[in-house]
Every structure is written in structure tokens, then in C-alpha cells.
Homo-oligomer: A and B are copies of this chain.
Amino acid sequence: MPQVNITVDINENIYLRDPLETDLGKRIIEHAILLLDEIGFEDLNFKKLAHHMKSTEASLYRYFENKYMLLAYLVAWYWDIMHFTLLMDIRNIKEPKKKLIRSVETLVNSLNESTTPSYIDQNKLHNIVVENAAKVYHTKKVDTLNKEGFYINYKKIVKTLSEIIREIDCDFKYPRALATNIIEQSLDSEYYLDHLPSLTDTQSRSTDSKNETVKMITYMLDRIL
């Protein structure tokens, strides 16, 4: 099977050198996902990552300014692929309401294998985004980073979702806020269920929790729209 280079559209301000252009770069992404999932962002540093992938600290600094930029890259990547997946999943659906429900399902069920290259563990990437996305958006540097286009991928998927909402109800006053809220809930509800269950209502982890989350969000949406 031929190696297909996937195209991801990520702002070049995020990295120093494009990691997808070299083997070392791809290995950085691969191992960053493995190690971040394992030890978390706070405990990650470039020394550990270098050791994990049998490279050196200095090499990592050639690709990313620091670990925040590396995280920003992974999150941007996630939203880029999620946006693509979502567009694929709804492309043949005509009815706006069905489009929205399908979008929620896609968001909650995360990425599927076919859209990510083989060196990416998409479930781990999903967990990393759930655990750390807020750290990319909540920083004193938010305005600078925003100007440099760091958040474009997230904004795009919010825009797509808000347009579906407007298709359902063109007079609805808060399409963007609702879209943002849906996306955040799709990330958070599973995390809360696993770690802070008293912040949610779904009882046990044993039943299909992803499906429960979809039901909850669509229930709320049914009433709002």
C-alpha cells in the first residue's frame, strides 16, 4: 500500500520547522502523543520526550519553540482532522437537523482510523485534547496567539457547526455560542464521567457512555432549536 501523505492545514507560526516534512518531525508527533497521554502536559518536558524517542532535546527545539507550541500544534491538528471528518460525515445529509445530530455523533465519537496517518494514535490524541485544550486557549498570550492565527482550526469547526444551527433556525440569536458549547460538552462530558462524576448525570461507565453523551446533547438541542 502506497504511503499517502495526509495534508493538514496548520498555521506555520505554530512550529519552527514543519514536522511533517521530515522523518524526525513525524516521530516527534508520534512520540509526543504517546508520552503526553502517558504522563500529562505538566510532567512533560523536551528531555523526557527526547529520551522517549531516542533523540536529543536540541533536536526538538529545532521544531518547536517549547512544549506549549507542541501542544498547540497537536490541538490544531486534532481540530483540522475533526473538521474534515465532520464535513465528510454530513456531506450527503440534506436535512439540517439530521446534519446537526450527525455532527454531535462525530464530535463525541472522536476520529476514526482512516483519517489519521498510521503513526498517529487517534484515541490518545483525543484524550490529550480533552485534557489540555483549555490550556492552549486560556493564557495571557491569547491575543497575540490569536492574531498569529493559532486558533484558526478551532474557529473553523465552530463556524461550520454554527452554520448548521442557522440552517435549522435562521433567527436563532446565539449560533456561535451554542456551537462552541456543543463542542466543549462533547469533550468534557466523558472526562467528567471518568473523573468527576458528580458533575454529570450519566450513572455508570459500563454502559455506552459516548452514546449517553450524544443523547444528552441532542436532547438539549431539541429543546433549544
A135 is contacted by which of B130, B134, B224 (Cβ under 8 Å)? B134
User: Restricting to A210-225, which residues have a CB under 8 Å from any CB of B?
Assistant: 216, 219-220, 223-224
Instruction: Label chain A's interface by main secondary structure.
Output: helix
Among the interface residues A68, A135, A199, which one has the most CB atoms of the partner chain B within 10 A?
Answer: A199
Q: What is the minimal beta-carbon distance from A88 to any residue of chain B, in angstroms?
A: 24
- Please tell me if the beta carbons of A155 and B43 are within 8 angstroms of each other in the complex: no
- Please tell me if the beta carbons of A39 and B174 are within 8 angstroms of each other in the complex: no
Given contacts A40-B140, A220-B224, contact A180 B192 (CB under 8 A): yes
Q: Which residue of B lies closest to A202 (CB)?
A: B177
Given contacts A219-B173, A224-B223, contact A40 B181 (CB under 8 A): no
Q: Give the number of residues in A that approach B within 8 Å (Cβ atoms).
A: 48
Assembled-state Cα–Cα distance A180/B185 (Å): 10
- Please tell me if the beta carbons of A177 and B198 are within 8 angstroms of each other in the complex: no
Among the interface residues A130, A178, A196, which one has the most CB atoms of the partner chain B within 10 A?
Answer: A196
- Please tell me if the beta carbons of A135 and B135 are within 8 angstroms of each other in the complex: yes
Assembled-state Cα–Cα distance A185/B216 (Å): 17
- Please tell me if the beta carbons of B176 and A201 are within 8 angstroms of each other in the complex: yes
- Please tell me if the beta carbons of A174 and B140 are within 8 angstroms of each other in the complex: no
Which residues of chain B come closer than 8 Å to A137, judged between CB atoms? Answer: 196
Given contacts A135-B138, A138-B131, A219-B174, contact A146 B201 (CB under 8 A): no
Q: Which residue of B lies closest to A138 (CB)?
A: B131
- Please tell me if the beta carbons of B142 and A220 are within 8 angstroms of each other in the complex: no
Q: What is the 8 Å Cβ interface bit string for chain A, positions 194-207, against chain B (1 contact, 0 not)? A: 01101111100000
The 4 closest A-B pairs by CB, nearest first: A40-B140, A134-B134, A180-B199, A142-B195
